[in-house]
Amino acid sequence: MINILFSARDALWPQYQPVLIDAFAKQGLEVNLMRETDAPETIDYLVYAPARDDDDLSVFTNLKLIQSLWAGPDKLLRNKTLTQPLARMVDPGMTQGMVDYVLGHILRHHLHTDTFAQAETWLTDVAPPLPAERTVAFLGIGELGMACALAAKAHGFNVIGWSRSLKVDAPIACFAGDDGLIEVLGQADIIVTLMPATPATDGIIGIDAVAAMKDGAALINPGRGELIDDDALLAGLRSGKISGATLDVFREEPLPLDHPYWREPSVLITPHIASETRIPTASAVVAANIARDVRGEGALYLVDPALKY
């Protein structure tokens, strides 16, 4: 029998429990799925979306894997008691939601939709170009970024991508490295940031990145607030260098009411809703990944402790 502890907000347990039980059965695993335990040393796997920041993970002395319900590992990595292997969530349902969000906001910037809202003017010569005449750059072309990039490409946009490691044989033009970043920013009409928050990505959209952007570029950030140097972005927006920004994630959430983003006319704020873990598809991923580990095939989606993603 495999002991699995579900540790997340109370409200999630009744929603996940029956679906997870089904998913483990489909994998042929006999599991004891529990909500609480007095014997943490007996737990084999933790299904985890912490309700609090200060869980003591050192009590799980025989844990083989923590399977997160979140895509972003940053918050979990801040827990100093984490020593066990950590798998982040890669959920087809979450990916689909992110594709919807990103494509929707790319189209909003592409069509200049906001210009027409209550314009009270019959604007002329403002018909948008076709997608092929616009370049959309994805900073971060992992699970989510690449899915969004392919959807934008399928829609007809000219799509380019930038990542830590250079992707060869990718279906879009790919770049890496500092020079690659400057190149990508200089080509892009619309920039989408879908990287994790790590020491290496902190403030990556800063003064230099803004200076490297094409005049009038738009930014969409559903990645993490830490990717943005807020002062540099605000300066870029106020000077008109950046035409608009759609921001879903922030260094402090909820975004404080006195934050200047709220009053910046060319900023659209969404409250960290770009995409979320979907219970049916995520449960199937949890069960399949734990089954892989049980069978000795090695879990997928492991977070690299050195790279922090």
Rule CB under 6 A: say whether 142 interacts with ligand NDP.
yes
Q: Based on CB atoms, which residue is closest to ligand NDP, 51 or 200?
A: 200
Burial of 206 (0-12, 13-18, 19+ CB in 10 A): middle
C-beta of residue 6 within 8 angstroms of C-beta of residue 47: yes
User: Out of 108, 272, 278, 292, which one is annotated catalytic?
Assistant: 272
- Strands 45-48, 267-269: pairing is unpaired
Rule CB under 6 A: say whether 143 interacts with ligand NDP.
yes
Q: Based on CB atoms, which residue is closest to ligand NDP, 196 or 236?
A: 196
Shortest CB 25 distance to ligand NDP, Å: 27
Rule CB under 6 A: say whether 191 interacts with ligand NDP.
no
Rule CB under 6 A: say whether 201 interacts with ligand NDP.
yes
The Cα 112–Cα 114 span in angstroms is 6
Rule CB under 6 A: say whether 180 interacts with ligand NDP.
no
Rule CB under 6 A: say whether 275 interacts with ligand NDP.
yes
Q: Which of 24, 60, 261, 309 binds ligand NDP (CB under 6 A)?
A: 309
Stretch that binds ligand NDP, among 142-150, 228-236, 238-246, 282-290 (CB under 6 A): 142-150
Both tokens of residue 52?
């609090």
The Cα 75–Cα 92 span in angstroms is 22
Binding to ligand NDP, residues 213-252 (CB under 6 A):
222-224, 248-249
Alpha carbon separation from 66 to 1, 46, 89, 290 (Å, rounded):
18, 5, 11, 9
User: Out of 88, 105, 110, 224, which one is annotated catalytic?
Assistant: 224
Q: Which of 7, 198, 243, 281 binds ligand NDP (CB under 6 A)?
A: 198
Q: Which of 112, 164, 259, 278 binds ligand NDP (CB under 6 A)?
A: 164
**Which are the contacts of 125, defined by CB distance < 8 A and separation ≥ 6?**
none
With residues binned 3-state (H G I as helix, E B as strand, rest as coil), the percentages for the chain, rounded to 5, are: 35, 20, 45
224 flagged as catalytic: yes
Residue nearest to ligand NDP (CB): 142
The Cα 63–Cα 56 span in angstroms is 13
The 10 Å Cβ neighbour count of residue 302 is: 14
C-beta of residue 162 within 8 angstroms of C-beta of residue 137: yes
**Interface with ligand NDP (CB under 6 A):** 71-72, 94, 140-145, 163-165, 194-198, 200-201, 222-224, 248-249, 272, 274-275, 309
Q: List, by residue number, the catalytic residues.
A: 224, 272
